[in-house]
Amino acid sequence: MHRGLTQKDLAKKLGVRSGSYVGMLESGLCKGIGVGRLEEIASFLQVNGVERYRWLAAAGHLHPQLFGALMKSPELWDEVVRLLGGPLRGRARGVSAKKQKARA
């Protein structure tokens, strides 16, 4: 990855007017970033492999093959989320936070 690159420098490379856009992306405040833009940023910063998949997943995008595999085996969702370093989202799957804590 590029070290010492400022948000303003990255914004220029990406063709956006402000470094604040990059800051919003970094902090998770910019929702709905498209796969194309995310791939562009990852390529520029030389983010590859697992870390690139983490970026995509954090932005709400899954590789189509991964999504297909998880749809066939939904019991693996929690394990994949755990591997990606994210919080489990039991509520989205119909499990209350209280029940989720009781299971732990």
Judge if 73 and 89 occupy the same domain. Answer: yes
Number of structural domains in the chain: 2
Report which residue type is found at 62.
Answer: L
Residues 44 and 81 placed together within one structural domain of the fold: no
pLDDT for position 72: 93
Same domain, 50 and 18: yes
Q: Which two tokens stand for residue 35?
A: 């796969």
Only one residue has tokens 């983010």, namely 47
Instruction: Return the pLDDT at 101.
Output: 46
- Is 29 in the same domain as 8? yes
pLDDT, one tens digit for every residue, the chain (104 residues) = 456 788 888 888 888 887 888 888 777 777 778 888 888 888 888 888 888 888 887 788 877 888 888 899 989 888 887 887 766 655 444 443 444 444 44
**Do 57 and 69 belong together in one domain?**
no
> pTM of this prediction?
0.56
pLDDT at site 88: 63
Neighbouring residues of 58: CB distance < 8 A, sequence distance ≥ 6: 28, 84, 86
The answer to whether the beta carbons of residues 86 and 58 sit under 8 Å apart is yes
Give the residue numbers spanning the domain of 79.
Answer: 65-104
Same domain for 25 and 5: yes
Is the same domain home to 34 and 6? yes
